[in-house]
A and B are shown apart, each in its own frame.
Chain A
């Protein structure tokens, strides 16, 4: 079984500041990990994914995440926040081949302060 925990349901950062959204996972098999972004009344858009290749994963819109097995973490970062980054962010996990579904965290709402 897999699960993810997102620490902080709301995060506020100033425009231009570092964005850090936290995600810890639990998995009985080597995990596949994902970050999705959701804008109001929209579906989810994939930001980036970890599939056991490089531990530092770069995604769209300047976001990146680092897989740390020792800490069971997959935190999302962006060096400089932009107003357009305001959205809901979801961390998700799936197991190896044959366990296809995604298990999502409860989400973190990111607010950007001008």
Chain B
């Protein structure tokens, strides 16, 4: 296993369209996190899964955002009715030990 994998790496979409991102964590990692990073800022926490259970959601995660982790393996993050303000890098991370998160390379979303 080579690490956390995210797909796609880049996504350009028109405002109002729906987009879905996928994250494959390191196998045997039971914790999975989504973060969002805008230019010049540090990553901001969006949501967190332990196995298939979504344990915490940030207030940043509006009703247009939904995340799933069926069967506690890969996860998807969907954004409905995208807005220009959604343009950012979306980072996925997984961990086995508390706090020691391993990050994927991210999906860069551009909403035009």
Contacts and interface: CB of A to CB of B under 8 A. Distances in A.
Interface of A: 9, 32, 34, 36, 41-46, 49, 51, 90, 92, 94, 97, 100-107
B103 interface: yes
Interface centre among A44, A46, A97 (most CB of B within 10 A): A44
Contacts of A51: 99
Given A43-B104, A49-B99, A49-B100, A101 B56 contact: yes
Interface in B20-50: 31, 33, 35, 40-45, 48
A102 B106 contact: no
Contacts of A41: 105-106, 108
A32 B99 contact: yes
B98 interface: yes
A51 B97 CA distance: 11
A101 B31 CA distance: 10
